[in-house]
Amino acid sequence: MTIQQISVFIENKPGSLVKVLEVLKQAGIQIIASTIADTVDAGIYRIICSEPVRAYQVLHDAGFSAMLTDVLALVLDNEVGRAADALRILTESGINIAYLYSFMLSGKGILILRANDADRAREVIMQNNLTFVAEKDLSGWV
């Protein structure tokens, strides 16, 4: 139920994102979702992509400071209130969310989240029969 996300440390400077994206393009890696917050001097660019391990390797080889992180990926029906339902379940079980972002894929909502206690979050997801994305599903998306 966890998938691998790449985090790349980048400077808040014109061209920083392009450099990362060019490397992934050259390697033929497709980005499924990505997010970055506005920051003052430097930031962490988070990417979900087709082959995270290879993507990490090519970024690392190109000199980027990058790392792989396990994140939870929930699948939600495309209906009003599903994200609220899922988060309420996690919150009531005492799980804090460090960050979260979402996107649509094949008519479903995908919620990427990083929880403070990943093991507990996994338990809660299983107990409540929430649908999640597994690593192997990623390649099927592209």
Partner 1 sequence: MYLHPEFETLSRSEIEKLQLERLQATVKHCMNSPLYKKRFEENHLSPDDIKSLDDLRRIPFTTKQDLRDTYPFGIASVPLEKCVRLHSSSGTTGNPTVILHTQKDLNEWANAVARCLYMVGLRPNDVFQNSSGYGMFTGGLGFQYGAERLGMLTVPAAAGNTKRQIKFITDFGTTALHAIPSYAARLYEVMCELGVDPRRDTKLKTLIIGAEPHSEEQRRRIEEMLGVKAYNSFGMSEMCGPGVAFECQCQNGLHIWEDYYIVEIVDPDTLEPVPDGEVGELVLTTINREAMPLLRYRTRDLTRVLPGDCPCGRQHKRLDRMKGRSDDMIILKGVNIFPIQIETILMQFKELATDYLITLATADSNDEMTVDVELSGFCTDDYGRLQALKREITRQLKDEILVTPNVNLVPKGSLPKSEGKAVRVKDLRKPF
The footprint of partner 1 (CB under 8 A) covers 5, 7-11, 13, 16, 37, 39, 41-42, 44, 46, 60-61, 63-67, 69, 98, 114
Smallest gap from Cβ 93 to partner 1, in A, equals 22
Closest distance to partner 1 from the beta carbon of 117 (Å): 15
Q: Per the structure block, which two tokens stand in for 58?
A: 């090519």
Contacts 24+ apart (CB under 8 A), 10-15: 10/36, 10/42, 10/43, 10/44, 10/45, 10/64, 11/41, 11/42, 12/38, 12/39, 12/40, 12/41, 12/42, 12/43
Q: 34 or 46: whose CB is closer to partner 1?
A: 46
At position 86, the amino acid (one-letter code) is A
Measured from the CB atom, is 55 or 76 closer to partner 1?
A: 55
Closest CB to partner 1 among residues 46, 121: 46
Min separation Cβ 114 and partner 1, Å: 7
